[in-house]
Amino acid sequence: MKIYSWNVNGIRAIKNKGLIEWISSEQPDILCTQETKIQENQISEELKNIEGYYSYFSCAQKKGYSGVATYTKQKPISVTYGIGIERFDSEGRILITEFENFTLFNIYFPNGQRDEERLNYKMEFYDALLEYCETLRKKGKKLIICGDYNTAHNVIDLKNPKANEKYSGFLPIERAWMDKFISYGYVDTFRYLHVEEVKYSWWSYRFKAREKNVGWRIDYFFVTEDLLNELKEADILNEVVGSDHCPVSIIL
């Protein structure tokens, strides 16, 4: 089973750059997209009804902002929009699809760069998400949590760690939460299988960053430890263009 995650930075924009053709060619079993920037009334039939896929959209109340969408060949047992906390759910950041063998979280984690208030929102979002995940694990659920986490975990995960250690996305408090997440038994699939490989999933549009590969690894697939025996591969598809992020993937 191939599961992909991609911050598309505007799903309507990337549709015009060949998204549907790429899906048709790649044939992921599940595709999770983030930062869709679309409202319910803007979802075209072409985006909603991609051949062979069920589609689910969680949209922000604010127009042209945030949002996630999940495409899946197999119909989920259940679909949950958010985690029941209005100030997080109103931004359309979480979509949960439950399948027979795992529960999949498609998440666009907040960016904390705007100001201290937004950084606090991001850290509270992280903690609320972890608490919600733990309630599911106690019910015996195996979890996959994918998406744009908006944090590079370690120095290997960004080109210029020293220059960015005082900026949101690589702050000690954000990196410490990633450590905490891992301490609870959530596994970074790419780093688990590729211990020393340097690969990035996001590049600034400025200064020819992608051309120079001055990037950050901020898009992840984390899984609970009880799924590791099914994990075959984890990859970062940095040759795929169309967004400032590239897709990341796992094979189970």
Angle at 80 between CA 79 and CA 82, to 5 degrees: 150
Number of Cβ within 10 Å of residue 241's Cβ equals 12
What pLDDT does residue 114 have? 84
Find all residues with CB under 8 Å of 186, minimum gap 6, and list them: 133, 143, 145, 222, 223, 224, 225
Q: What is the pLDDT of residue 224?
A: 98
Sketch the domain layout of the chain as residue ranges.
2-251
Q: List the catalytic residue out of 29, 127, 148, 244.
A: 148
How many other β-carbons are positioned within 10 Å of the β-carbon of residue 204?
Answer: 12
User: In this structure, are residues 77 and 89 in contact, taking their beta carbons and an 8 Å threshold?
Assistant: no
**Does the annotation mark 244 as catalytic?**
no
3-state secondary structure of 252: coil
Instruction: Identify the pLDDT of residue 122.
Output: 98
Rounded distance, CA 50 to CA 20, Å? 7
pLDDT tens for 196-250 read 999 999 999 999 999 999 999 999 999 999 999 999 999 999 999 999 999 999 9
pTM: 0.98
* Structure confidence at residue 181 as a pLDDT band (50, 70, 90): very high
Mean pLDDT across 177-196? 98
Which of these CATH numbers, 2.60.120.620, 1.10.357.10, 3.30.499.10, 3.60.10.10, describes 2-251? 3.60.10.10
* 161-178 pLDDT tens trace: 999 999 999 999 999 999
Q: What is the model's pLDDT at position 41?
A: 96
User: Measured in Å, how far apart are the chain's first and last C-alpha atoms?
Assistant: 5
pLDDT tens for 33-84 read 999 999 999 999 999 999 999 999 999 999 999 999 999 999 999 999 999 9
